[in-house]
Structure 1
Amino acid sequence: MSFWYFDKDELLQTASAQEGLSNELEYRYRQEGARFIIDAGTKMDLGYNTMATGVVYFHRFYMYHSFKTFPRYLTACCCLFLAGKVEETPKKCRDIIRIAKILLPANKYATLGIDPKEEVMVLERILLQTIKFDLQVDHPYKFLLKYAKCLKGDKSKLTKMVQMAWTFVNDSLCTTLCLQWEPEIIAVSLIYLACKLSKFELDDWHGRTSVHLRWWDMFIQGMNMNLLEDICHQVLDLYSSPIGKSALLSSPPPQGELVIPKKITPPQSVYQKLLIQKVAFKYNLTPEQAMQSRWPIFE
């Protein structure tokens, strides 16, 4: 089994970086590729697992290949095509190309080449070799739902918190967190973030013992606050990025019991709240002052 986790120094020394592409531009290309996979997958009525798997393939591919060599939208089409087959939700290559033509402006669609279908088929072989035929990918979604079932508290507040955490998992696809940490760790971190922002007091949980100082000790041993906060800040930083704001993914709030959403459609109020809180914290303002101020991240 291949090892797909990298430290932050390694993430700054990718194939693109070695060819002179700035880290900021590479991060932007990663966000744009992830956003395209989600947009195309949503239009094709693909499930969240298929889209997430495609995004993970995309991020892994560009650890070893440069954006200067392989156009991001062609690679994104290829990743979605392969993910559909792996997750048993296959779509024909020509249908993915057709959606790409609808979603992309002419200059970006042109990067798919004269014969996009043939380009995707050729690139698929390179993609498979790059990811070492390691096709099965676990995502934080299943761990989020598993852990949530163990938590105690007011049912409506718990549901709201879990939905917010689910939104954060969706949005984390536009970051490189899937290249840094296991899905279990991401799930715990984003539950923690959702608890903080939804003001859900998580004081008790099923299976609690005297050795559990915090709720996440039952799921992951040795999880520290520095790691938790680093992951949370990487997701929150996405909301202050002009590209990140347009690439955010979400799900409609579940009604009653926890519902696994199939599609990803954004409620903007959640993001606005996060942005206000982030600005207030960063500049030592009250939420009201942050709301009234003009900051670049709101542009």
Structure 2
Amino acid sequence: MTQSVSSTSKQHKAIKFVKTNTQVPLTIPVKAINEQGQEVDKSVACERPLTLYLNWRPIVTLMTLGAKPESLTLGYLKNQGFISDLNLLESVIVDWDVSSAAVITKEVSEDIEQQLSEKTVTSGCGQGTVYGGFLLGLDDIDLPTPSLKQSTIYALLSNISDYNETYKNAGAVHGCGICQDENILAFVEDVGRHNAVDTLAGDMWLEQQSGHDKIFYTTGRLTSEMVIKVAKMGIPVLLSRSGVTQMGLDLAQKMGITIIARAKGRHFLIYHGSETVTFDVKKD
């Protein structure tokens, strides 16, 4: 079994990614019968378990597509409150032979056991559990007031259609993107929308990117968990192809997040933050 070691960006060269057999297929070919009784060649999205370990302590098993396991692991642990200081990270070891991702830190937190005991079963696809540290620090989040144009939203929705490659090929996945104006800076697909957002959160954390001028796009519904994760990323605008839940809306109102849902083509609904949007497109 071969291993290769690489480091992250220049700011954090101390973090080592030990990659063991990390390249896995995102889809597999299958045979299907269409509505006319004909056999056709199709693809289905892969789904595989990934057990996350923190200092060799098992934390959770996620069901994932497996595209970016390192970023998913770090984003999940950060969003759940297990790790807050990037400089304490020592290595990330991913091994698909045993379906595991292990994060080693320079210091061992004494709060891990308490956090693990304070868990809540949720509706999150691909995960379904949040821990005590997940809710910490929400009162300290200070998001900027965004400024959006209706035309920018339309352009972004048009541009996002060029992504969703796995969905177009096989379906059965969610997609999330980090956007700036109408430009899509990063896009991730996974079997669960929370896996996708955690992966993007891990990337932003490693690259020390600011979210103050970004828009977060997701194909999934806007639950309380999604709103909290986007707020922790410092992003003030949440745009979804799906709907929003009552608790998600309540949290967005409290934290000052502009919520735009049911967004597809030239249709969208602003559930909170309509004052941040300039309607600059004339009606037909």
Q: Name which structure has the greater RCO, CA cutoff 8 Å, separation 6+.
A: 1
TM range (shorter): under 0.3
Larger strand fraction of residues = 2
